[in-house]
Amino acid sequence: MKIALAQQNYHIGNFEDNTWKIIGAIQHAKLRGADLVVFSELSVCGYAPRDFLEFNDFINECYRALDIIKEHTEDIGVIVGCPQRNPEIAGKDLFNAAWFLYQKKVHGVAQKTLLPNYDVFDEYRYFEPGYEHNVIPFKGKKIALVICEDIWNLGDNPLYRIAPMDELIKQQPDLIINISASPFDYDHDVDRIEVIRANVLKYKLPMFYCNAVGSQTEIVFDGGSLVMDANGRIVKEMKYFEEDFATFDEADYGGKKSEVGSKTEDAASPTSGLRPLASDFDKEMRVSKINNPELIIDYLTAEKNIKEIHQALILGIRDYFRKMGFSKAILGSSGGIDSAVTLALACEALGKENVRAILMPSQYSTGHSVSDAEQLSKTLDNPYDIIPIKDVYDAFLTTLKPVFKDLPFNLAEENIQSRTRGNLLMAIANKFGYILLNTSNKSELATGYGTLYGDMAGGLSVLGDVYKMQVYALARYINRNGIVIPENIIYKAPSAELRPDQKDSDSLPEYHLLDKVLYQYIEKRQGPKEIVAKGIDEALVSRILKMVNTNEYKRNQFCPIIRVSCKAFGVGRRVPIVGKYLS
């Protein structure tokens, strides 16, 4: 049996585009002689539709799309993801389902059993867990059809009480097909492959794994669909961060587990495919990074991680603009590392002509800040303007003098500068139809080092899930083939330049120390005692964690953040604003 995988980028609720994209791949699969073509989880409506699922009209549109797709299945099997209504009154109204369409009919349906309800996932809010497990016969083969999380309940500490494949294997299937919407983070792709391998080796069956690709607001899906034979060897690993299509003959993937040492047509080794598996060093780093804090920065800035973060951010920017119907971006270019990296990424994602940089020096700005920002835009060849803010800032101070009287200069005057810049950026954005890109990084957002309605303004945060040390690594990666970001931007001491001789280190610990603690607390949910036990100063840990928890109110008002880590600020991290813990 010849099977095709269609790795596609869908648009949530855009039924017309999604449907014709699916039909186009069906026609392509027919031309390639495929017996079956497989699409990703909730492909008909896009993942994750969230509260759209509560609208009956939305589900009706899903069913209409299925009816249209069915008409193209007269001589080919098609597996698509789509919500299914639950006929039982008890329980949730919907299942997250994989529909097997053939000969213009519904040939079978598999319902997702394991519904993730952690981090960015909220499936149990909408879906009833599947409770029937049956293989689907097709052209002499028995297919175990499962959905995303259904293959993840392995290991010593399973999250769920059952594993669907334990039930399906009793019916002696010939292969496993898993349709997924598995988001990217720089830890997850290696884990994903190892989970697929663990299933393949446990059940002694080949697996076809079809993942979504594309960005949906803040969540990036990286693709990487693959086929693995029954010996745990990758037959083919499909592209990352872009659409792809591939077909596989039975000779490629085999049937039941073959003899050790046998060779598939497209795979001569366990690491074949478009991207090799993690090296032993990578695996060792992942295991030891928490036990040895000295390795954390090395891990966060490792070349593999930075390359993937770069790809994810480009896709996140591009899809946000394309799917929202926007084309042009604006940002404040300060001559600092964060705005420089954001500008370079935006130019690559949207085209240099579509990204406008605004340089807004004040009386506290250094001369090199303007010259560095100018040089960057000249190198990138993007449009830019210089708008000094001194007159606007002085007008604010004059207006406020009856209230401020002769009180000394403090944070209030600093924030007026930041909010002046935010107002200017938003005025230009409104006038010309730009979307403002925010340039704050994760280290700043974590500690509250930012001004509400000032430098925290924006429609999309590009670097809000990227630690400061990773921002520096991204700058070096952007410069890998030649100087794009001026070296002075990379090597000078970071500063908000809101008062004379200001440095970030006046308010924050040095970033290489700060990021170690933040990563252990935010990503790995380590408590203060656990972090201190790893050899980090107790007073420093207490200071940093207090900054994180007392600034939740700022992050709660922030724009969407492109997610690249396993625990980003936003929908995947739900912390009370008024909590007392560690504050």
Q: Which of 235, 433, 214 is nearest to 322 (CA)?
A: 214
Q: Are 126 and 53 in contact (CB under 8 A)?
A: yes
Which amino acid makes up residue 355? V
Task: Round to whole Å and give the CA distance between 101 and 111.
Answer: 14
Task: Round to whole Å and give the CA distance between 372 and 336.
Answer: 8
Active centre residues (catalytic): 41, 112, 148
User: What is the maximum alpha-carbon separation in the chain?
Assistant: 87
Which amino acid makes up residue 472? Y
End-to-end CA distance of the chain: 60
Task: Round to whole Å and give the CA distance between 308 and 523.
Answer: 18
Query: Do you know the residue count of the chain?
Result: 583
Strands 36-38 and 384-386: unpaired
Q: Give the relative orientation of helices 15-31 and 56-70 as an angle to the nearest 10 degrees.
A: 20
The answer, yes or no, to whether the previous bond of 110 is cis (omega within 30 of 0) is no
| Strands lying side by side in the sheet with 105-111 | 105-111, 94-102, 77-85, 36-38, 3-7, 244-248
Q: Are 437 and 329 in contact (CB under 8 A)?
A: yes
| Rounded alpha-carbon distances, angstroms, from residue 220 to 217, 223, 328, 552 | 8, 9, 21, 24
